[in-house]
Amino acid sequence: MNLSGTYVVKADQKMVWHTLLDPDALQHCLPGCQELVVQGPDQYQATLHIGIAAMKGTYTGKVQITERQELTRYKLLVEGTGSGGRVRGEGLLELAPAGPEGTKISYRGDAQVFGPIAAVGQRLLSGAARLLIGQFFKCLERQLGGGSGAESEA
């Protein structure tokens, strides 16, 4: 499953960068995140409860940030298991200025799903994932003190 898109937030790039690396802000904004525990530098353990039919269940997993380029980009490696199966993926977040007071966040990633959740089909899973990503970015915009950001898919 491949996902990509952009989201523009009304906050400067430095503030966005630090918020995207703040475990408390991430836990608050990740849909269904019950726990996000720092395991080491750029390593986290997460527990999420997803209520969307295609992905419904509780998932636990690890997230690792790699290839960090301060204020501009980092890569994520994700592994998780839950009642719906197992997921493994990687993604890239890139930040760039968007106007005098905004930041464009570009994301792209690839995930492989295994187990019962894989039988749902990529189209339904992609739709559910896009919904969760949209919820995350809207929450992030609120955390940054802005209004509603603008999203676009690639």
Instruction: Break the chain into its structural domains and give their ranges.
Output: 2-153
* Stated pTM of the model: 0.86
CB 102 within 8 A of CB 10: yes
Residue 50 has a pLDDT of 83
Q: Is 132 exposed, middle or buried (0-12, 13-18, 19+ CB in 10 A)?
A: middle
In this predicted structure, the answer to whether residue 98 has a pLDDT above a threshold of 60 is yes
- The 10s digit of each residue's pLDDT in 110-125 is 989 888 888 877 778 8
Q: How confident is the model at residue 135 (pLDDT cuts 50, 70, 90)?
A: very high
Residue 51 has a pLDDT of 77
Residue 33 has a pLDDT of 92
Looking at residues 22-51, what average pLDDT do you find?
A: 92
- The two structure tokens encoding residue 133: 């990503």
- For CA atoms 21, 118, 129, 24, give the dihedral sign: negative
CATH superfamily of 2-153: START domain (3.30.530.20)
Residue 147 has a pLDDT of 53
Residue 154 has a pLDDT of 47
